Amino acid sequence: MLSTNAADLLAQIRVHGAVPRHVAIIMDGNGRWARERRMPRPYGHRSGMRAVREVVEGAVEAGLEVLSLFAFSQENWQRPPAEITALMSLLEEYVAREADELHQRGVRVCALGALERLTPEASAAVARVMAQTAGNDRITLNLFVSYSARAELVRAARLLAEDAAAGRVDASAIDEAAFASRLYTASCPDPDLLIRTSGEQRISNFLLWQLAYAELFISPVLWPDFTRAELYGAIRDFQLRERRFGRVPA
Ligand code: FPP
C-alpha cells in the first residue's frame, strides 16, 4: 500500500516524465539506527533489509532501468567477525526470501564485486537468484557485495593489459568505451543519481568511474527509515535539476 505522500510524489514524477535511468544508493546509517535503540549493529542491518525491499518495489513502480545498492564493501571485511557473519546471513536470507517475488516482478538480480570472498552459502544463494532472474528485463537490481571501486578499476586495467598482451586489443586503440566494457557494470548505463543516506557526504570507494556525471542527493534519513517516499523525493529533486555534463546551459 502506497502512503499518500509516496503516491503524490509518484504522480508528480510521472507528470514530469523523465525518470533517471539508473539510481545508485549508498545505504548508510544502520549502525547508528541500532545504537539509537540500544541494540546491536546487526539489528540495524536486519531493519535495513526492510528498506531494501521497499526501495526495490518503489524503483520498479517508478520505471527505473537499473537500481544499484552498495550492500557490502571490501573495507567492510575489516568489521568485527560477528557483524560480517550477520551481514553474510542477511544477504543469503534476502535472496532466498525475495527471489520468487523479484522474479515475478521482472527484476534481474546481479551481484557485483569480489564474490569469491563470500561464504559458500551466500555465494550459492546469490548464484541461484542470478540464474533464476537472468532472463528478466523490467529492471536490473545490482547488489554490490565485497565491492571496491578502486579494485574494480585495477581489475579492468589488468583485463585490458591481458588482452593487449595476447594481441586481442591494440593498446593504442584503448579508449573509454574499451575500459568501461571491462567494468562489472559494462552492460548498464552510468548512474544518473547517487543517493547516500544518513547525512554523510562521501563516495566511499563506490563506482568511482561510473559516477563521473551523477547528481548527488544526500538524505539525512538513516537507511532503515528510508522509504519509498524518500526515494521518490530524491527522484523528484533530480528531475528539477539541470544537467550540463560540462557544457553551457541550453
Ligand atoms: C552501512 O551502515 C550499511 C552496511 C554496511 C550494510 C548494508 C546492508 C543492508 C542494508 C542489509 C542487507 C542488504 C541486502 C541487499 C541484503 P553502517 O553499518 O556503516 O552504519 P553506521 O555508519 O551508522 O555505523
Q: How many angstroms separate the alpha carbon of residue 7 from the centre of ligand 1?
A: 27
Distance of alpha carbon 179 from alpha carbon 212, whole angstroms: 14
User: Maximum Cα–Cα distance for the chain, whole Å?
Assistant: 59
Distance (angstroms) between ligand 1 centre and the Cα of 53 equals: 14
Which amino acid is located at 218 in the chain? I
Q: Kindly list the distances between the CA atom of residue 9 and the CA atoms of 5, 68, 69, in Å, as whole numbers in the listed order.
A: 6, 21, 22
Is the distance from the beta carbon of residue 53 to the nearest atom of ligand 1 less than 6 Å? no
Query: Average pLDDT over the chain, rounded to whole?
Result: 95
User: Alpha carbon 106 to chain centroid distance?
Assistant: 17
Q: Is 109 in the pocket of ligand 1 (CB under 6 A)?
A: no
Catalytic residue list contains 170: no
CA-to-CA distance for 210 and 22, rounded, in angstroms?
Answer: 11
d(CA 150, CA 249): 33
Q: Check pocket membership of 52 for ligand 1, CB cut-off 6 A.
A: yes
Strands (E), the chain: 22-26, 66-73, 107-112, 139-147, 193-196, 215-218
Which numbered atom of ligand 1 lies nearest the CA of 48? Answer: 10
- Judge whether 76 counts as a catalytic residue: yes
Dihedral over alpha carbons 57, 59, 65, 66 (to 10 degrees): -90
Q: What is the pLDDT of residues 134-171, one digit of tens each?
A: 999 999 999 999 999 999 999 999 999 999 999 999 99
Q: Whose CA is nearest to atom 3 of ligand 1?
A: 28
State if residue 47 touches ligand 1 by the CB under 6 angstroms criterion.
no
Distance set, CA 161 to CA 70, 114, 152, 213 (Å): 28, 19, 14, 27
Q: Is 10 in the pocket of ligand 1 (CB under 6 A)?
A: no
As a whole number of Å, the CA-based R_g of the chain is: 19
Q: Is the CB of 91 under 6 A from ligand 1?
A: yes
Please determine, for residue 239, whether its predicted confidence score (pLDDT) is greater than 90.
Answer: yes
pLDDT tens digits along 58-107: 999 999 999 999 999 999 999 999 999 999 999 999 999 999 999 999 99
Question: Does this model's pTM top 0.85?
Answer: yes
Compute the distance from residue 30 Cα to the ligand 1 centre, in Å.
5
What is the CA(41)–ligand 1 centre distance, in A?
9
**Cα–Cα distance, 234 to 219 (Å, whole number):** 8
The pLDDT confidence band at residue 247, using thresholds 50, 70 and 90, is confident
Residue that has been written with the C-alpha cell 535511468 in this structure: 21
Alpha-carbon span 177 to 55, nearest angstrom: 31
Cell numbers linked to 117 = 570472498
* 236/234 Cα distance (integer angstroms): 5
